Amino acid sequence: MKKNVLLLAIFSLFSAISVANAWSYPVKQVTWNFCEQTWAACTIDIPRIEWANYLAYQNSPRYRSIYTVMWWWTYYDWWDFWFWSHQGVDIASTLWTPITAMWDGEVVEAEEKWDWWKTIVIKHTIWGSTLRSVYAHLDEILVKVWDQVKEGDLIAKMWKSWNATGIHVHFQIDTSEWKHPYFPSWCDDSLTDKVNEWKCWNQVRDHTLDPILFLETDWAIFLAERNTELQTRESDYLSAYELKYQLWTTVIKQDSSTVLTITPKKEGIDAFLKDDLSIVTTTGLNVSANKIAYIWTGRDVAIVWNKSGLYKMSIKSWNSLVKKYNIFVLSEEMIAMLRKKFPDNKAIQEIIDNL
């Protein structure tokens, strides 16, 4: 009981600190062709991807023109979900858009880098842990090393470097003690090839954070997955059996993907988990998070595979099986064979038509 009271007190303190010093997006406003008049440029408050629910915004031209590349995605002209190697989020606007600090911290780098152009790195301390926020492709750097900055302080203005195709800020959050901005230098090929060909994606995952997810959950995702002593609210402290699991589809066409949605059975809960969920798969199947400690109001897990075939996926809490799925991935040849072999089976034909 005493431990629970103490932990709840710590959480209350954390909540008060969060309100007083809220994390914020590095770009407060963006300028683009958002006005109704053709080709008219205007400035709007940056639209947030609430709760990092990317699937809800993936078909929005406005969001796609502002958030041009996400964390762990590709440079291709669509929103690819996870498993690629982009280390941060690219936020696009016009020349000299103000860039601000995401939270209080100390400037540890403010210089030109050959592949990032003018770059700022700010060191933040959170309950004894260290994060570094990175702002790259800048025009004018307005701070220097050793400066102490507050959340929302103006630190730079937006531009693009030689390797950027448009004006934007590359915003990245590093958890590693390695070089910053973090990216594994031992991968072959150019930065673009690394990102688009999945190279070192697991190292990007292990040494950086999803900036949007971090900001939208007010860093609770960081606390849950790195400091279990702060998983404290007993009323919202759920077991694996108090969650709903929905796999969008179990039959998928090769070179596509599916999503597992996990939500609390009780609505309106911002939930930590009593025991980490682990997602175990057969070889060739990849998930965007194989261990989950925090759900909030819902969480989407992307599922990607390398080739056609039958795959198995199990959701476990400790060693107890919570849910299992069989996932069928069909190649073009398999689809053609099914169409030919079962021409009169309406159920099979409907499944194929919806792939």
The tokens 């606390």 sit on which residue? 223
Predicted confidence at residue 40, as pLDDT, reads: 66
Q: What span, in angstroms and rounded, lies between the C-alpha atoms of 18 and 27?
A: 19
pLDDT tens string 217-246: 777 777 666 654 544 444 467 888 999 999
Separation CA 286–CA 283 (nearest Å): 8
Residues 29 and 46 sit within 8 Å (Cβ to Cβ): yes
Q: What's the pLDDT score for residue 136?
A: 94
Banded model confidence at residue 283, pLDDT cuts 50, 70, 90: confident
Q: Which amino acid is at 43?
A: T
Return mean pLDDT, the chain: 81
Structure tokens at 144: 């220097």
- Quickly state the pLDDT bin for 4 (edges 50, 70, 90): very low
Rounded average pLDDT over 252-257: 80
Write the CB contacts of 325 (distance below 8 Å, at least 6 apart in sequence). 247, 250, 312, 313, 314
| CATH numbers and ranges of domains, the chain | 2-221 (2.70.70.10), 234-353 (2.60.40.10)
Looking at mean pLDDT, say which of 41-45, 196-200, 266-270 comes out highest.
Answer: 41-45
Instruction: Output phi, psi for 350, to 5 deg.
Output: -65, -40
Is there a cis peptide before residue 98, judged by omega within 30 degrees of 0? Answer: no
Q: How far apart are CA 54 and CA 245, in angstroms?
A: 18
H or E stretch including 294?
strand 291-296
Q: Is the pLDDT of residue 17 over 80?
A: no
Residue 204 has a CB neighbour count (10 Å cut-off) of 25
Assess whether pLDDT exceeds 80 at residue 175: yes
